Amino acid sequence: MKSAEQPSVFASVVYTPPDVIFELTKKYLTDPAEQKVNLGQGTYRDENGSPWILPCVRAAKEKIRDVNHEYLPILGLTSFRTLAAELVLGRESTALIEKRVASCQALSGTGAIHMAGKILYNALGSQTPVYITNPTWSNHRQVFASIGFLVREYTYYSETAGCLNMETVTQALNEAPPGSIFIFHVSAHNPTGCDPTQEQWKDIATIVQDRGLFPIFDAAYLGMTSGVYDRDAYAIRYFVEELRLEVAVCASFAKNMGLYGERVGLASIITRSPQEATAVESAFEQLMRAEVSNPPAFGARVAAAVLEDGELRAEWARNLTKMSSRVEEMRWALFDGLKKLETPGSWDRIVKQGGMFCLLGLTPEQVVEISIAGLNWGNVQYVAECIDQTIRPHTL
C-alpha cells in the first residue's frame, strides 16, 4: 500500500519573485493614497492618467467592426505582415524587393524577440553568447536565458555623465567572439533614454560587419522618440540597406499604436538570399504552430487597417507627433520644476534623454527610473516636489 505521504510532484519547483514592474503597478493600484502617480510601467497616458485610444485606432476599429473571427494563417495576417515589414524597412527596401525577408506575426515585442531568438538558437547553437546592454529592459535576459543562450552584459550608460557610453559599447563589440548576438534598442533605449547618433550607429555597424556579429533590433518604440517613424528606424535601414547585413527586427505596435493588450508584433529576419528567407519563414511557421498554433487576429487587423488606409496612416503620423511632443513637454516641465525648487544635483539628463523613460541618477534607495509618459500637468509639480524631498535629506 502506498504511503499517503508521497512527496509532491512540485516539491522541487522554486518560488520565483514577481516581475518588479508589474508588481510595482499592483502596489500602485492597491495603494489607498488619494494622490499617487505610477512612474514605473512603460505605457503612454493622457492628461488624466488614462490609456489613450489613438484616433486612428478608434477609426480602424470601426472600419473592421464586422469582420469574422476565423483563424488566421499560421504566420499571421498576411496584409499585416506585408505592411508592417514595409513600415519597418521602408517601401523601397531592396531586401523586400529581392524577397530576402522572412516574417512572422508575433505576440507583441516580447513574442517577436522570443521567435527570433529561437530561430537563431537553432541556427547558431547554445554556445553563442547574447549581449544585452546594462541597464536594459528587464525581460531581455529572461527571454534569451529561457531559450538556452548564455547572456552577457556590457556597459551602455555612463552614470556620471548621464548619457550613452560609446567607449564601452565599442569595446564590447570589439571584444565579443565573432558570431555573437547583440541586442540593440533601435530608439528610445529602455530605460536610459539614450540613443546613438546616426554617426555612432554607423560606427557600430562597421564593427558589427567587420567582426561578423549578428544584430537583433528591439523596435518597441519606433515613432515615439522623434515623432517620425522613418527617422526612428534609421539604424535598421542603415544596417540592412547600406551594409546589406543579415539582421533580425522585432517590432511592436503596443506603444506606438496604443495596442498594449492586443499583443501585436512582427518578427522579421533579413537574410542574404530569397532561398534562405523561404527556409527561415518555414522555421517560423513550425515554431508558431508548435507554440500558439496561430496568432490572435483583432490587433493585427486594427494595425493593418491603419497602415493600408492613407487617411488613417496620416492620422497615425499626427498621433505619433502628439505623443512624442507631450512626452518631451513633460520632460521640460519636470526639469523646470526641479530647477525652481533648487533641488540639489544636476538635472540636465532629463531633457538630454529621449523617449518614454528617464534615469535620474538617484540611488537605488531613492528611485532608479521613471516613465515620463506617466507625467501630466496635474501631477508633474507633485512629482518634482517628491523628488526634491527625497534628495534633500541625503544632501544636508
Lowest mean pLDDT segment, chosen from 7-16, 199-208, 384-393: 384-393
Backbone φ/ψ region at 181: left (φ over 0), alpha (ψ -120 to 50), beta: beta
Give the integer Cα–Cα distance in Å for 365 and 353: 22
Tens of pLDDT, residue by residue over 331-373, are: 899 889 988 988 888 888 888 888 888 888 777 666 655 667 6
Query: Can you tell me the mean pLDDT for 82-89?
Result: 97
The reply to whether 301 and 336 lie within a common domain is no
- Number of neighbours of residue 181 by Cβ within 10 angstroms: 24
Provide the pLDDT confidence category of residue 56 given band limits of 50, 70 and 90.
Answer: very high
Task: Locate the DSSP E strands across the chain.
Answer: 101-107, 129-134, 150-155, 157-158, 163-164, 181-185, 214-219, 247-252, 264-270, 357-359, 369-371
Query: Of 218, 232, 316, 347, which is the active-site residue?
Result: 218
Instruction: Look up the CATH number of the domain holding residue 286.
Output: 3.40.640.10
The answer to whether 77 touches 105, Cβ cutoff 8 Å, is yes
255 is catalytic: yes
Nearest to 74 by CA among 297, 227, 237: 297
- At 186 the pLDDT is 95
Tell me, yes or no, if 218 is annotated catalytic: yes
Last residue of a domain, one of 311, 336, 357: 311
- Residue 197 in contact with residue 180, Cβ under 8 Å? no
Containing structural domain, residue 326: 20-54+320-391
Q: State the chain's mean pLDDT as an integer.
A: 90
Per-state percent for the chain, helix, strand, coil, to nearest 5: 45, 15, 40
Distances (CA, A) of 288 to 143, 208, 243, 274: 16, 29, 30, 21
| Domains: count for the chain | 2
Are residues 273 and 387 both part of a single domain?
A: no
- Answer yes or no: do 234 and 328 share one domain: no
Q: Tell me the backbone φ, ψ of residue 265, rounded to 5 degrees.
A: -145, 170
Query: Is the predicted pLDDT of residue 222 greater than 80, yes or no?
Result: yes
Q: Tell me, yes or no, whether 375 lies in a domain.
A: yes
Answer yes or no: 61 catalytic. Answer: no
Lowest-pLDDT choice from 41-50, 208-217, 253-262, 284-293: 41-50
Among the three residues 311, 344, 373, which one is the final residue of a domain in this structure?
311
Q: Are residues 124 and 257 in the same domain?
A: yes
> 207 with 114, same domain?
yes
The helix/strand/coil state of 232 is helix
> Does residue 27 form part of some domain?
yes
In-domain check, residue 127: yes
**CA pair distance 120, 104, nearest whole angstrom:** 14
Helix (H/G/I), strand (E/B), else coil: 154: strand
Q: Report DSSP letters for 359-392, one per residue.
A: E----TTT-SEEEGGG--TTTHHHHHHHHHHHHH
Per-residue pLDDT tens digits for 22-52: 777 777 777 777 776 777 666 777 777 778 8
Same domain, 230 and 271: yes
What integer pLDDT is reported at residue 396 of this predicted model? 45
The residue annotated as part of the active site, out of 195, 201, 232, 255, is 255
First and final C-alpha spacing in the chain: 72
Same-domain status, 82 and 152: yes
Dihedral (Cα; 41, 45, 49, 50), 10-degree rounding: -100
pLDDT at residue 121 is higher than 60:
yes
Residue where one domain finishes, among candidates 265, 288, 311: 311
Check residue 47 and give its pLDDT: 77
- Report the CATH number that the domain containing residue 331 is assigned in CATH: 3.90.1150.10
Determine, yes or no, domain membership for 3. no
* Contact (Cβ atoms closer than 8 angstroms) between residue 267 and residue 88: no
Using DSSP's 3-state secondary structure scheme, residue 155 falls into strand
Task: With CA atoms as reference, report the closest residue to 137 among 193, 56, 94.
Answer: 193
Residue 10 lies in a domain: no
- Placement of cell 492613407 in the chain: 310
Instruction: Look at residue 140 and tell me whether its pLDDT is greater than 50.
Output: yes
The answer on 266 and 199 residing in a single domain is yes
State mean pLDDT over 67-80: 95
Which one from 52, 137, 201, 316 is the annotated catalytic residue? 137
Q: What is the mean pLDDT of residues 174-188?
A: 96
